[in-house]
Each structure stands twice: as structure tokens, then as C-alpha cells.
Chains A and B, each alone.
Chain A
């Protein structure tokens, strides 16, 4: 099939029916926020906190919206540039996280317009927040950004929900895990007190407990789907995942999310049982790190068509947590403790693997070693982002180490979260075409080294 002169089709790359239905949850989140606004209920602007912040906020009746998402949305719809210009002229460096610059520009416009979203604001804009839920985990921007926004929302408090981020070796030092969990629980108690004071209402711990249990159920099921994906041929690809992840990442405590995952599981299982691949001619199984080019997911559909490449596993940070052994829950009744375990274990879940391969850190990195084996992968597609450092810092290091220790090669394709022109599709395809040969070569290398899968 002649591919040289073929125009790049703008397909979504999705192969699952349920992936096409997942958009419902994104809309639901927006709808909930608008409803809260209408009913005079408080809204918080939040970072993704890997569940600890969201579960507690929702249990106490706060609706959260996520400016990170809004950044991706503005970028994809062309509405970001106006915001970026404003951020620049306000004096914020142009090197800052693209999503934060977008949100700063939007915040200024909102503040100047008496807190009414301006006409033509992408997606109708985000409503004025009562408070900000910043996060200390993953990167500095995630709390500095909201602290900076206080300039435009002068009375709204900023709460930073932090998380211990030990090194892999340090994590295993005697007592560190237990003492860290204790700290997190106390830290969460402060967060609860803050919310109770802000809203003038008490947290219903029973309700929180229910939500937390539901969240664990949903995440467990989402993990089962991840396990199903190990099959050859792969029943589901990256473009599917980046769609269906919304309910488990943002709304795991919503019973509708669980129902949705039952459908996802059924659809994926059906393919596995009948050896149906997500893409017709699966030749190469790839991992993808870390944040996808949301605006160009069709790129992956094209990769599938041209080269038989399937993204069989991706984006460690978005995945459901690995199951926590039952023993860990013995004697645990406080829902805050369960929440602490949920987030802390997510961020330390691959530390054992890290120690096994003698690498650091465990997050953003070690997962790909396990993935490589579990998903029998041929290569890593590394996607450095110009204005997102946390998702970029360890990519080269991951690529180097995978190549050395597991003979799994990597290819680097640059992009950005807000400046979409950094991702050059034409160049990307050339690189991927060349990468086919590299992957073939390393298949041989793995065989020779006796570590083939």
C-alpha cells in the first residue's frame, strides 16, 4: 500500500465502542459544575490529586473543575493563544507550564469582566472558584500556579495538598512507609478542617467511606481491564485508553463509572476471548510515555494503518492503581487512612520494580520496565513536552535504561501541551518509519540475550 502521498487522515484512533461513549463523563463533569454554580453551591478549581483531594471534596459537597483539562481544551480549540498573550504581558515567564499560562490569561479576563466568563470563552469558560485545591505531588507548577492565581481571585484561599515523594531506596527504609502514611492522614485531617471551615458544614465520614469504597471498586475493575490488555493481539490501544480513563481518574466514586467499566471490561474481554486485535495487522507493540498529544490522536490511527503499530500500554500516571494487598487494610476503618493509602501507594507502586532494575525514580519510570515485560513490547515512544517538565525529565533516562537493561529501544518525538505546532507530524512519521527497523533489530538482540518474550 502506497503511503508516501497519502494525506494524513484526521481519525480519532479509537477502536472501542465504549471509548467513543466515554465523552459522556467529561460532559457530566462540566454539567455538574454548571449546576453547582446555578444552585449556589461552591466550586473549587483543582489539580488532579490522584483521588485524595477529589474524594474528600465531593463527599463534603464541593464540585471541582480542572484547569489542566481546560488548558488542553483551549489548546485543541484554538482558544489558548489569546490567554497566553495576556499571561506574557502580565509578566509571567513564557517557559512556565502551558496549561498554567492559559489559565492565568483566562483568570485575568474573568477577573476584569466582573467574574463573568467573557463572550466566546472556550467551552463557555470556567466559573469563579470559591477556593483552589493545589497539589504538591508530581511537580512545582501544581501549587505555584494556583498561588499565582490569587492575584486575580484575591479572596479565594489556596489549599495545597501535599504527598511524600521518597526515593525508591528511601521508601523501603524501615518504618518510612508507615510513618509517611501517618503524616498523610494528619495532613488530610487539616484539609478536612479547612473545607469544613470554608463551607460551614461538617464532613459526613460515612458518605466519604462509601465513596472511597466505590472508588476502590472502580479502580480495581479498571485495573482488570489493564490486565486484559496484555493479550496478543492487543484488544485495546492508547487512543481508547486516553478516552476511557476519564471516569476512573476523575470520578471513581461515581457508581456510573463502575457501570461503565463493566461495559468496557465486557467489550475488551470479548475481543481477548476471540483473539480479536484492536488494529487489524498488529506487527509492533509499543509503550507510550507520558502525556499524549491530545490534539493529534489520529496520529496513532495512522501509525496503526501504515506500520501495524499498536500502543498497547501508556501514560503510567493516568492508570488505575495496582491492587493493594488485603493485609494492608487489616484494622483500617478510617476512610482518611484508605484515601492516604490510595494516593501514596499509587505514587510508590513500582518502587519494587525500580529496586529490581536499580533505577530511580519509581514514578514516571519504573512502570515501563514492568510494562515492557507484561505487554511484550517492542519499543517505547517517548514524547517530551516543551512546557511540561515533570512528564519530560525522566524520558531520556527511561529510554536509555530500557535499551540497556531490557533491549527495548525508544524513539523520541517532541511536542507541547499548549503550543501544538511543536509536534511536527511529517517528521514524526519519518522517525516512526525508521524506528520499525530499530525495533526489528532489537527483537533479534532480545532473542540473542535470551530475554525475548
Chain B
């Protein structure tokens, strides 16, 4: 029987977003094991298939970084510094497994330092090649096998092919539902705002995949028929770059004359835009997907071509996004010290400006305390669009 007091849809997403470890702790009390992972490369399908709850480990823009100083340098990605800081403060003390990954330098080194100082019953470092052609997929598949072995140890059982295929199917369904949600942002004004979408995306990274799919469907149904849609604004914004995981940031952007329409980030389209191909050996499809289809500049795109062709090769999907969602401005979000996106700035600007899109680049300090000074920049940017 449905609990009439239980929140649904957007209200539920907000609730989960506000108390993002609550569901994990509940399930843990019921005997489920929780696995925390870094960035969007460790395959959640493997974790789901072994009956774990995968939790995306994020930082907290509201929390001043106080403990990390004794372990990590200050001049490094502030997001991972924050995540480590939270780990040391016990924010994730309920996880049974920790999966670090070679998503980028910061993720890599923080993974190591994490395992040294924050003890979890099980930990694994997932190496990821920087290139994605040729044998790299095979190498990555080999590493995924070792990840699987390690998690099997934690689960106390072997991973069968059927459970893995089923998990892939469920997570692919989630991807499809996320895309469906995003399509609701096509109208002008969009039917759902950036902060609301962020709450949904963060939520589904903190709860089991089936519950996430249920939540997504609720939200889609609710949004399709809602009356209280966002205001029409001058700017229809695409966000490219480092992730955003706090709605105070999206609120600030959307109160400056801009509607956030699509996010090309690790808490936006990147984990959800392509489905895993259902191959006979499921790990092949998984390896290919995570290495070749999760679009992040950390993966080196071969450049045996001219500069123009290289830009097209790296960024043409942005042209498709801009066209489909009728984008008229791009915000390049760089968390300070992010090399992966930092080196891209002039190139991505070149490309986007060649499409006639104005670009606002901001290097920010991943802290809600330093958000307000950014308001003027966003407002001025909306004034350049309109």
C-alpha cells in the first residue's frame, strides 16, 4: 500500500539530495553492503550486480576544508580535497568498499592517500588508460576483471553473467530515463530548472538503481504536467567542464537571467548519454562504454589531424547539444587547479565561438562562501546575450 505521506517526484529528489547518505545508512542497517567510488568511471553495473549499493563520493561546498591540510597540498583540485576532507571527518564511515580511480591526477593521488588514512574493509584502485584506441580497451577490461575479483571477495560470491547483464539493463534504463528528463528542457522556458535537475541527478547516485529509476519516472510524469514551470529568461545555458554538486551554485546562476538547459559535466550528461552495448561477454561492452563513451577531456583524443579537425573530433557533440536545446551561451566551469579542463579552455572557446556562442569561463573555489562575487559575472554574461 502506498504511503500517502511519502514524498514523490521532485519533492523526494530534494529530500534525498538534502540527506544524501540517509538511504545508504538505512540499507546498511538492513544488511546491504555499500561501495563508494570516485568519478564516473568505476562501473556501477558490477557493483549493482553483486548486490552492493554504489555511492558516488562527492565533496561539500558548504563545508570548510580543515583536516586535509596535513595530508594533501593546498594547490590541487579543491573538489577532491573536499572529498578527502569529508572522508577524514567520517562522512562516509558507513562504506564497506572504496573504489578509487585514475579519472585524473587528483582522483588518482587522492585515491591512494584515502586508502592510506581512511580504512575500509575493501579497497581497489581502478587504473584507466589515458588513450582509448587499440589495445587500451583490452587493458581496461583486464583491470575491470581485477575490480570484479576484489568486489567478489567483499560480496562473498562470484559474479554470474546473468546478474551482470541484468544490472547493465537496469542502469541502461536509468540512462534512458535521464535523457528523457533532459528532453523536457527543450521548450522555452524549460519545464524543469537546473537546480531541480541537479537534485535528481545527485539523488540517483545515492540510491539503488531500481529506486532511482522509479524516482526518475515520477519526476518525468510530474514535470510533464506541472503548472509552475521556470520563468523565461534571456539565457539558455550549457554548462561545460568541472562538476557542480550544490544547488546554491545553480540557484545563483539561474537568478542572474540564465536558465540552465544542459550540463556537459560528470554530474550531468557524461555518465548518462550513451548506453552500454549489450555484448556477449558483458565486460567488453562495459569496458568500451566507460573508456570510449563517457565523454571527458581526461581521455586523450588522437590528433593525427589539423587543429580544426581535432576540435571537431573533440567537441562536435557540443554542436549537437547546442542545436537541439537552442543554447545561446556556454558557461565553462573550472574548479580551481583542474588541469583536465584548464588546458582545454582556449580550444573549447575557439570551437564554441566559431559556432557563434558566447562563452563565460570562471575558475572557482568550490565553496559556497565564495559564490556571491560570481553573481555579477553571470548577470553581465546574460546582459551580453540579451
Task: Indicate whether A and B interact.
Answer: yes
Interface string of B117-151 (1 = CB under 8 A from A): 00000001101011101111011001100100100
9-residue interface stretch from A52-60, A166-174, A275-283: A166-174
Chain A residue with minimal CB distance to B130?
A136
Taking a contact as CB atoms under 8 Å apart, the answer to whether B136 and A392 are in contact is no
Chain A residue total in the interface (Cβ 8 A): 59
Taking a contact as CB atoms under 8 Å apart, the answer to whether A143 and B72 are in contact is no
B131 to chain A, nearest CB (A): 5
B interface with A by C-beta (< 8 Å): 70-73, 75-76, 100, 102, 104-106, 108-109, 111-113, 115-116, 124-125, 127, 129-131, 133-136, 138-139, 142-143, 146, 149, 297-298, 300-308, 310, 334, 336-337, 339-340, 342-347, 349-350, 361, 363
Taking a contact as CB atoms under 8 Å apart, the answer to whether A396 and B136 are in contact is no
Taking a contact as CB atoms under 8 Å apart, the answer to whether A96 and B339 are in contact is yes
Interchain Cβ contacts under 8 Å between A and B, 9 examples: A140-B339, A140-B340, A147-B301, A154-B306, A165-B108, A166-B143, A389-B73, A389-B337, A393-B76
B105 interface neighbour in A96, A145, A393, Cβ under 8 Å: A393
Taking a contact as CB atoms under 8 Å apart, the answer to whether B134 and A401 are in contact is no
Taking a contact as CB atoms under 8 Å apart, the answer to whether B361 and A91 are in contact is yes
Cα distance A46–B78 in the bound complex, in angstroms: 30
Taking a contact as CB atoms under 8 Å apart, the answer to whether A165 and B105 are in contact is no
Taking a contact as CB atoms under 8 Å apart, the answer to whether B346 and A91 are in contact is yes
9-residue interface stretch from A180-188, A210-218, A228-236: A180-188
For the complex with contacts A148-B347, A173-B149, 14 further pairs of A-B residues with Cβ separation under 8 Å are A141-B339, A144-B297, A144-B343, A150-B303, A157-B305, A164-B127, A167-B100, A175-B142, A180-B139, A194-B304, A384-B73, A387-B75, A393-B76, A396-B73
Given contacts A93-B345, A136-B129, contact A396 B71 (CB under 8 A): yes
Given contacts A95-B337, A160-B130, A393-B72, contact A151 B346 (CB under 8 A): yes
Cα distance A96–B127 in the bound complex, in angstroms: 23
Q: Which 4 A-B pairs have the closest CB atoms?
A: A167-B125, A136-B130, A144-B343, A154-B307
B279 to chain A, nearest CB (A): 20
Taking a contact as CB atoms under 8 Å apart, the answer to whether A162 and B349 are in contact is no
B61 to chain A, nearest CB (A): 19
Taking a contact as CB atoms under 8 Å apart, the answer to whether A179 and B131 are in contact is no
Q: What residues on B are CB-neighbors of A143 within 8 Å? A: 130, 300
Cα distance A400–B346 in the bound complex, in angstroms: 39
A167 interface neighbour in B76, B104, B112, B345, Cβ under 8 Å: B112
Given contacts A151-B307, A360-B115, contact A160 B339 (CB under 8 A): no
Given contacts A190-B134, A393-B73, A400-B71, contact A150 B310 (CB under 8 A): yes
Interface string of A395-409 (1 = CB under 8 A from B): 111001100000000
Interface of A is mostly: loop
Chain B residue with minimal CB distance to A387?
B75
A336 at the binding interface (Cβ < 8 Å): no
Q: What residues on A are CB-neighbors of B146 within 8 Å? A: 170, 173, 176
A155 at the binding interface (Cβ < 8 Å): yes
A369 to chain B, nearest CB (A): 13
Taking a contact as CB atoms under 8 Å apart, the answer to whether A186 and B135 are in contact is yes
A interface with B by C-beta (< 8 Å): 90-93, 95-97, 100, 134, 136, 139-141, 143-145, 147-148, 150-151, 154-155, 157-158, 160, 162, 164-167, 169-170, 173, 175-176, 179-180, 182-183, 186-187, 190, 194, 359-361, 384, 386-387, 389-390, 392-397, 400-401
Q: What residues on A are CB-neighbors of B134 within 8 Å? A: 186-187, 190
Cα distance A186–B137 in the bound complex, in angstroms: 12
Cα distance A170–B100 in the bound complex, in angstroms: 12
A437 to chain B, nearest CB (A): 21
A200 to chain B, nearest CB (A): 15
Cα distance A151–B305 in the bound complex, in angstroms: 12
Chain A residue with minimal CB distance to B345?
A91
Taking a contact as CB atoms under 8 Å apart, the answer to whether B138 and A183 are in contact is yes
A151 to chain B, nearest CB (A): 6
Q: What residues on A are CB-neighbors of B105 within 8 Å? A: 139-140, 389-390, 393
Taking a contact as CB atoms under 8 Å apart, the answer to whether A92 and B345 are in contact is yes
Taking a contact as CB atoms under 8 Å apart, the answer to whether A170 and B127 are in contact is yes
Q: What residues on A are CB-neighbors of B104 within 8 Å? A: 140
Taking a contact as CB atoms under 8 Å apart, the answer to whether A148 and B343 are in contact is yes
B128 to chain A, nearest CB (A): 9
Q: What residues on A are CB-neighbors of B339 within 8 Å? A: 96-97, 139-141, 144, 389
Chain B residue with minimal CB distance to A393?
B109
Q: What residues on A are CB-neighbors of B113 within 8 Å? A: 360, 393-394, 397
B146 to chain A, nearest CB (A): 5
Cα distance A141–B343 in the bound complex, in angstroms: 8
Q: What residues on B are CB-neighbors of A359 within 8 Å? A: 116
Q: What residues on B are CB-neighbors of A140 within 8 Å? A: 104-105, 130, 298, 339-340
Cα distance A389–B105 in the bound complex, in angstroms: 8
Cα distance A236–B38 in the bound complex, in angstroms: 44
Q: What residues on B are CB-neighbors of A100 within 8 Å? A: 343
Q: What residues on B are CB-neighbors of A183 within 8 Å? A: 135-136, 138-139, 142
Cα distance A91–B66 in the bound complex, in angstroms: 31
Chain B residue with minimal CB distance to A95?
B337
Chain B residue with minimal CB distance to A90?
B346
A147 to chain B, nearest CB (A): 7
Taking a contact as CB atoms under 8 Å apart, the answer to whether B310 and A148 are in contact is no
Q: What residues on B are CB-neighbors of A170 within 8 Å? A: 124-125, 127, 143, 146
